Amino acid sequence: MADFGIEEQGGDKPMEISHSPLNLGGGSEPEAAVEPEERPVVRDTGKKVSWPDRITGCKTFFAKLHVGAIDFLDEQVSTWLKDNPGVSIKMTNAVVGEIQAKKTEPNLIVTVWY
């Protein structure tokens, strides 16, 4: 290590390490830390806000995976919508999953968010 100008230290002496910041020559003086601005705290006033796009509930329909059952599912959804004319559908979701009854069978599961 003598080639690089570093002298090896004895086994009993620990090597000295500098913990001061490294100056890369970017400026003459380090910049002072900027303190963040204080923001006002927003408090909940307890008032309920209602939006027309807000989801208020959901209804789930399911049917086995064959033509007759899917036709019945269509009738169920149509009948429910006719019986609830004030419902505004926000989103729907359809998945295939297993419903456990006497036998576990794959079903089409439709969720209507309103």
- Report the pLDDT value the prediction gives residue 107, as an integer from 0 to 100: 94
Instruction: Name the β-bridge partners of 63.
Output: 108
Tell me whether residue 5 is in a domain: no
Please report the pLDDT score of residue 8 as a whole number: 54
Domain that holds residue 85: 58-113
Shortest CA distance to 53 belongs to which of 91, 7, 102?
91
Q: Is pTM, for the whole model, over 0.75? A: no
- Tell me whether residue 103 is in a domain: yes
Q: Which two tokens stand for residue 34?
A: 């900027």
Task: Encode pLDDT of 68-79 as tens digits.
Answer: 999 999 999 999
Question: Is there a domain that residue 14 lies in?
Answer: no
Give how many domains the chain has, as a whole number.
1
Instruction: Give CA–CA dist 42/40, Å, rounded.
Output: 6
